[in-house]
Chain A
């Protein structure tokens, strides 16, 4: 070993071998790419198909929740899910698609300081043509409306989605304020969005009169999901 370390005459050969090894390693990815260029990857063309079914199933849950919060028809989600189950087979006939669901939940908790409307569905997707079986994905749709505080003619509210992210771009048309005692509508002059450290984004609802001690705020999200919150001093 000592002899090997002390000897200097073979160093050049070692460097040469290392450099040749480096070159072989550099060429390897090029060769691999060339060999596999036309290799057929059947998964790639189906990724967008799976994505589209997921996306539209998510949209189905959203519009079912929107419909439920408008009509309080508890069956709307299962009705839509059953129709979508049949129609996906019709739309993608030839792919052997089977979309089922194992749990569907639809509920609301309104007229509280912190109110919410929620839908939750777990889907199971099979695509026979690519051997996909039992692919599960869960869709949760939620609208959370919280009345934070009342200050003279202003009402501070936060509106959040299922990811606890604030719902943006809400305007006067998205809100309604009602006097809880008289049940009369209070006019809204403007809706101002403010930054809040805790809530990230809050909406300041500026009313055209002093806000009563007991007030109801209604919100419609851009997807038309409805929630109603109540605040009493």
Chain B
């Protein structure tokens, strides 16, 4: 009780406490600010998972906009390649192959971007399979998108 009274009434050293609080605030704000610009490293362990997620999301977004079935069923491979290049980050290389249900390749020209050696040498090549039901009639297509970071 006596100690409490002393503690509550003691006024000397207040400036030190203010200094500590201000210093702590500066550190917190500095950390928060630095966090905004932090470039977090990619994990080799989850690299393939991250690329798979990216691949699924890109194909799904293009499908939702109606671009994917339009380009695939009209066999407009150049526009499909352009759409993928726009949608994927610049350092992600891709190779898309379109098959029918019997796994016969449909695209006669490669839908490819990047360095071919990156696909051969990298240990982290992600492969995403995506299905389309048809455009005017029931005619499924299988899209296999391979992704690798360049």
Is A48 among interface residues, defined by CB-CB distance under 8 A?
A: yes
Whether B31 and A56, one on each chain, are in contact in the complex, defined by CB atoms closer than 8 angstroms, is: no
Which DSSP category, helix, strand, loop or mixed, fits chain A's interface?
helix
Is B37 among interface residues, defined by CB-CB distance under 8 A?
A: no
A45 and B137 alpha carbons, distance in the complex (Å): 29
Whether B129 and A92, one on each chain, are in contact in the complex, defined by CB atoms closer than 8 angstroms, is: yes
Whether A55 and B142, one on each chain, are in contact in the complex, defined by CB atoms closer than 8 angstroms, is: no
Please choose the segment from B21-29, B79-87, B90-98, B110-118 that sits at the chain A interface, where 4 or more of its residues have CB less than 8 A away: B21-29
Given contacts A12-B14, A45-B53, A92-B129, contact A55 B60 (CB under 8 A): yes
Select which of A40, A49, A59 is within 8 A of B133 by beta carbon: A59
Is B136 among interface residues, defined by CB-CB distance under 8 A?
A: yes
Select which of A9, A33, A83 is within 8 A of B11 by beta carbon: A9
Given contacts A13-B7, A30-B32, contact A38 B43 (CB under 8 A): yes
B24 CB, min distance to chain A CBs, angstroms: 5
Whether A20 and B21, one on each chain, are in contact in the complex, defined by CB atoms closer than 8 angstroms, is: yes
Number of A-B pairs whose CB atoms are under 8 Å?
A: 96
Whether A55 and B131, one on each chain, are in contact in the complex, defined by CB atoms closer than 8 angstroms, is: no
Whether A19 and B21, one on each chain, are in contact in the complex, defined by CB atoms closer than 8 angstroms, is: yes
Whether B134 and A63, one on each chain, are in contact in the complex, defined by CB atoms closer than 8 angstroms, is: yes
Interface residues of A toward B: which range? Answer: 35 or more
Q: Type the 1/0 row for A87-127, where 1 means its CB is closer than 8 Å to any CB of B.
A: 11011100000000000000000000000000000000000
A53 CB, min distance to chain B CBs, angstroms: 8
Is A7 among interface residues, defined by CB-CB distance under 8 A?
A: yes
Whether A52 and B136, one on each chain, are in contact in the complex, defined by CB atoms closer than 8 angstroms, is: no
Measured CB to CB, the residues of A under 8 A from B are: 7, 9-10, 12-13, 16, 19-20, 23, 26-27, 30, 33, 37-38, 40, 44-45, 48-49, 51-53, 55-57, 59-60, 63-64, 66-67, 80, 83-84, 87-88, 90-92, 224
Residues of A within 8 A of B132 (CB): 56
A52 and B9 alpha carbons, distance in the complex (Å): 68
Whether A23 and B53, one on each chain, are in contact in the complex, defined by CB atoms closer than 8 angstroms, is: no
A7 and B9 alpha carbons, distance in the complex (Å): 9
Select which of A20, A44, A66, A92 is within 8 A of B24 by beta carbon: A20
Select which of A16, A37, A55, A60 is within 8 A of B138 by beta carbon: A60
